[in-house]
Structure 1
């Protein structure tokens, strides 16, 4: 038996394919939604879901939530005297969901399809797989959440359509554009923000409440139990303002009461910065898919936070139409995961459905570029660009840089920045090369990326037939606090250079944004302008810098108008 699991930031669900439809399975309490909260009871036993959520207030030292946001990082949470990584906490929740499924089905469950945010990195995806394995599940596939939702919708639709999935959950925001054509569900593009969701809206409400009633007069809001009480009250108020024009935010402690009246219009102002952040991923996905808003047949809302009237109004304004909610936004991802599980099990009723997906991030290598008479390291050469349909294999050819070079070190990265220092390091290959004149030894670098997010890097030397290979499986590291302090100190010790002047910094930032938003030839054009400008900055000649800055600014304006 293969089940489908929506492993959410705020709530999680488990579903199974039965006959002709996906069924959400209830947990031990009879609820379909299981809060993504885990902890230990007073005897050190695992508690999860509603029980654990209740203990967040009373036993904050034994209970935790929102750990999905830290998947793939080295962050640890202390529970009962022991430190747990996010994948271990997720495994606790998955183990509870597995037990609920077995109880509901009366069968043993050994495998699952788990949904993840489309914008999850390779490290976060691997951490999710590890969590499943720790929970005693064989992970047959990770499916992107918007793709799962679209799959569930496609089974209802069963006709040709192009649609955008707007997935705003408790902790993450994803947008995907998909096409359904002759039984094929094809993902055209995905974008998102892994730190934008309903929990952030609650944080804004808490901050507003503290600011208005006066933090000096309140109990210690940093204390875990108090922080959790404020968060729960904020969530209640946010939900209430979805139904009524006003609601009261109230905190009671030791016989005292603090309260604040809030209206829907005030809520809109409080969360406006978050609503504004929803726009950029939508624009990027449309641009990458080369699709105009008018070409979309449907706008689908997914995730509990899309129930907010403010969010629905924003979506309606952005797309000029009322978004669709044919399926329950809380349940549709789990239903899609169950459908994918049935597809994997080759269920007869789903034989005609074919699903394709995309690589959410650009994958590439570090290279050097010539700036004047010198070469500068640390530049990014994309090999597989984001939103390429997977499985995919792409290659680029590079060459040696110095005379009699004996070794080439190939750094492998993931991300959208022009410079590798701003991307995520995945691994490296050291390739011995025969000593020749610079440029005489070429290397064919091939990246292969599969449906499960596994990257293989292969380097072939035509000059002698040698081939080296690396399968990327390690998690990218994170900076320890002492490393962060060292880097900050190093930056502060630098003397002010012309590139640090605000007007120059603004132009560099603009080019960085355009580089990340562009693909292919557009990226090469922006990179060329950025490299030229950096070369001018290094001259420290203010007149030349000013002339080049004006010229590049005009070029960028024309570039943006033509896109």
Structure 2
């Protein structure tokens, strides 16, 4: 069985193509969205999802979130006494989604289509594939997120000729893709993006505004517990401003209740620089597609951050029309991943759909250039595959060595758009042996082949000897080798994963602990008693008793979160 997975910065989803349609799969909590959050419980058990997110405020030193932003790097995050790489943390989220899918489908899930930001680099894509491998999944395809959203949208437009733009603002990344659909063929014309621009940045802007307006010292940023409480309060305020004209961001600090009244205009002013950054990828994609905004038939929103009114206003202003709201922006990418999974198994309902994609980056080599005075200048970037070229693609260029009698060339392979390679991303190297003749007789053809999964093969052929040298770009700095993946896979198997069938109980306890930490006085004592009563019900191991006790505790927690006590208004 193959599933589609939207592995997100903030939330992740899993879906399946079943009986002619995409079906979203609920997790053990009955939710479609699984927070991309991992925590180590006090006994060393791994918690994933809502239970882990609830522990961000109470156990920040044992909990990790937003690790997708560090995929493809050698950064590690410490939970308790154990360090995890970003792909290991991502694999735990994938493993939880795999278990949810298997429980829902009643059969083993072995393959997955996993979505990635269109602007993910080669290293980030390989790290995502490694995360799938660590989770016990064969990653059939890495699918660009806006392309997935376009598949979901285009499924209902198969008989139409249409040109549309996908505006995908997720928790950590922003992608733009322009697509054309005609006669069942969906063609990506251009993609652009920003890997460090997402809902989390808008949230951070609100946190920065609060710290500035309340004149809090810079040292508060080193207080992990307070910052997590502030982030949680800011997230609630941001969500409320998506539905209400004004709200109040309130948090407790050193026994004092700090409150900041907010309205949409204040938030938009605080996020002005971020809104300006959203324009840049849109303008680049339009230029690359040789289109003007008025030539688009529709704008499709994807990613939860597009729910913010100021983002929707920006999109409306930029394109001169209201964006399409036919799909839930949180779910559209996962639905598209399921469509791609259906295409993989050649489902009859999808036989008319053909999908093409593009390379989001330019790929090339470092070259030297001859100056008018005869001297050479080094480190210039020479693209072999230009960005937004339809993939799969193979391109070749001819190069000659700088000097006579040269016995080898070191090809330095880069990805990016800057003129000098120092400002681009180094992907790898290939040493080519030369016959040691004149530069013209030592000419080399360099061929780049780039596939739909974002994997690059480089092949160099010495024209005189016809000898060929090649490399599949695998060894990006900071990435796990195959041996390391095997070693870490064995270590991951030893981790204790919290049982899926008791996750609701652990999540309720984690939420209660978070709210308890925010309360004071009589309200705190009262909640402590309720937690003890719930723990007593767990000790009975009677499913009916536990279910009733959990429902009662969650109702009490709902009341507390709605009340002023949670915000520190009083000490009831």
Superposition TM-score, scaled by structure 2 size: 0.82
Is 2:84 the partner of 1:53?
no
* 2:252 matches 1:284: no
Give 1:72-471 correspondences, 5 Å limit. 72-158=72-158, 159-216=160-217, 220-371=220-371, 372-471=373-472
Give the drift of 1:15.
0.6
String of CA shifts for 1:401-441, please: whole Å, max 9, x gaps. Answer: 11211111111111111111111111111112122233442
Partner SS, residue 416 of structure 1 = coil
Paired with 2:324 and 2:352, the residues of 1 have a C-alpha distance of 25
Moved more, 260-269 or 275-284: 260-269
Find the counterpart in structure 2 of residue 4 from structure 1.
4
Q: Secondary structure at the match of 1:200?
A: helix
Cα distance in 1 for residues equivalent to 2:305 and 2:221: 25
Q: Tell me the residue number matched to 1:550.
A: none
Asked if the contact 2:428–2:476 (Cα under 8 Å) also holds between the matched residues in 1, the reply is: no
Deviations 1:296-316 (A, max 9, x none): 111111111111110011000
CA RMSD of aligned residues (A): 1.3
Distance in 2 between residues matched to 1:407 and 1:104, nearest whole Å: 57
Secondary structure of 2:156's counterpart equals helix
Query: 1:469 deviation in Å?
Result: 1.0
Whole-angstrom CA distance in 2 between matches of 1:179 and 1:474: 35
Contact kept, 8 Å, 2:226 with 2:253, in 1: the verdict is no
TM superposition score normalised by structure 1: 0.83
Contact 1:407 1:433 in 2 (8 A): yes
Contact 1:366 / 1:410 at 8 angstroms: preserved in 2?
yes
Larger RCO, structure (CA 8 Å, separation 6 or more): 2
Task: For structure 2, list consecutive stretches of 5 or more residues without a partner in the other structure.
Answer: 480-572
Distance in structure 2 (CA, Å) of the matches to 1:133 and 1:199: 27
Query: What SS class does the counterpart of residue 8 from structure 1 fall into?
Result: coil
CA distance in 1, matches of 2:327, 2:121: 28
Contact kept, 8 Å, 1:401 with 1:439, in 2: the verdict is no
Which residue does 2:512 correspond to in 1? none
How far apart are 1:254 and its partner, in Å?
5.0
**Aligned partner of residue 125 in structure 1, secondary structure:** helix
Distance 1:320 1:98 in 2: 42
Separation (CA, whole Å) in 1 of partners of 2:220 and 2:291: 50
**C-alpha deviations, 1:503-559, integer Å up to 9, x for none?**
xxxxxxxxxxxxxxxxxxxxxxxxxxxxxxxxxxxxxxxxxxxxxxxxxxxxxxxxx
The 8 Å contact of residues 364 and 414 in structure 2, kept in 1 or not, is answered as: yes
Give the Å deviation of 1:241. 1.1
Give the C-alpha shift of residue 219 in structure 1. Answer: 8.1
Contact 1:402 1:439 in 2 (8 A): no
Shift of 1:329: 0.6
Distance 1:373 1:140 in 2: 51
State the 1:222 CA deviation: 2.0
8 Å CA contact 2:55, 2:63 repeated in 1: yes
Secondary structure at the aligned position of 1:157 is classed as: coil
SS at the partner of 1:220? helix
SS in 2 for 1:204: helix
Looking at structure 1, the residues matched to 442 and 98 of structure 2 have their Cα atoms a distance apart, in angstroms, of: 54
Instruction: Provide the C-alpha distance between the structure 2 equivalents of 1:219 and 1:368, rounded to a whole number of angstroms.
Output: 49
Question: Could you give the per-residue CA deviations for residues 354-373 of structure 1, whole angstroms, max 9, x where no partner exists?
Answer: 11111111110111001232
Deviations 1:2-31 (CA, angstroms, capped at 9, x unpaired): 111110001111111121221111110001
2-structure distance, mates of 1:286, 1:89: 36
In 2, distance between residues paired with 1:221 and 1:414?
35
Deviations 1:432-483 (A, max 9, x none): 21222334421111111111111111111111211111111112459xxxxx
Q: Within 2, Cα distance between the matches of 1:449 and 1:60?
A: 41
Give deviations 1:46-73, integer Å, cap 9, x for gaps.
1011000001111111111000000000
Q: How do residues 34-53 of structure 1 correspond to structure 2 at under 5 angstroms?
A: 34-53=34-53
Name the structure 1 match of 2:497.
none
2:32 matched to which residue of 1? 32
Counterparts of 2:230 and 2:370, CA distance in 1? 55
Q: Larger deviation: 346-355 or 252-261? A: 252-261
Aligned length: 477
SS in 2 for 1:170: coil
The aligned counterpart of 1:14 is 14
**Contact 1:117/1:144 (CA < 8 Å) preserved in 2?**
yes
User: 1 CA distance for matches of 2:477 and 2:379?
Assistant: 17
Matched, 1:70 2:70: yes
The separation in 1 between residues aligned to 2:60 and 2:188, in whole angstroms, is: 41
d(CA) in 1 for partners of 2:132 and 2:346? 22
